[in-house]
Chain A
C-alpha cells in the first residue's frame, strides 16, 4: 500500500522558521504537492515538486529528494496567519493519477 507520513502537530514562534517534513513510501512517484488549510476553509495549493531540489516562493519553500522519499515545507518569518494545517500529497506514476494525501500537520504559531 501507499504510506505518507507527516508529524501531527507542530508549534513555532512568530518570526521564526519552521520545517514540516513529509516522508512517503509509494509504488511509483509523479510529483508531490503541499496544500495549506485554515480551519473551516478550503485547502489551497502551495507548491508542487517533481524533480529533486528546492523550490522557493516568497516566505515558503519546498524541497524534494526522490531517492530518500522525502520532502519538506519551509516557512520563514512566521506570521500568526500561518497557523493552519499543511497537507502533503503524492501523485503516483501509472494507474491512478490522483494524489494521495497524508494526515496533515497542524501548525500553531504563537506570539
Chain B
C-alpha cells in the first residue's frame, strides 16, 4: 500500500465509449500526476496538477481530459480513444515545496484496453 489508490484496476472499452479513471491519495500531498506506461517504453508524463491547478500538459491528445477537484482526487476522462491508447495508466502524488517535487508515490494503475 503506497497511500495512492486507483479505480478501476482494469478497463476494457470501445473506441466510442466515454469512461473515467479515478485516483485518490491519502498522503496529504499537494501535487498529483498522470503517467502512461506502455511495454518497453519509459513512463510518459501526461498531466501534472500542483495545488489543484494544471501546471503541465505534455502534448497529450484532447481525447484525454484531466480533472482535479481537490488536492486528494484526480480524474482522467477518456473519450473516443484509439487502440494505441491501450496501456497502464499510473497516478502519482508528491509534496511540492518551492517548485520542487519530493519523492513520488504511485498508485497500482489502471490497465486499459481499447478495442
Contact = CB atoms under 8 A, between A and B. Distances in A.
Contacts of B104: 33, 45, 99
A89 B33 CA distance: 15
B90 to A, nearest CB: 7
Contacts of B103: 33, 45, 48
A89 to B, nearest CB: 8
A14 B47 CA distance: 39
A87 B100 contact: no
B90 A98 contact: no
Contacts of B100: 30, 97
A50 B25 CA distance: 26
Contacts of B2: 42, 44
Interface residues of A, number: 24
Interface in A72-111: 87, 89, 91, 96-104
A11 interface: no
15 contacts: A30-B100, A33-B103, A35-B106, A41-B108, A42-B90, A42-B105, A42-B109, A43-B43, A43-B90, A89-B43, A98-B33, A98-B101, A101-B43, A103-B40, A103-B41
Given A98-B45, A103-B41, A104-B42, A42 B4 contact: yes
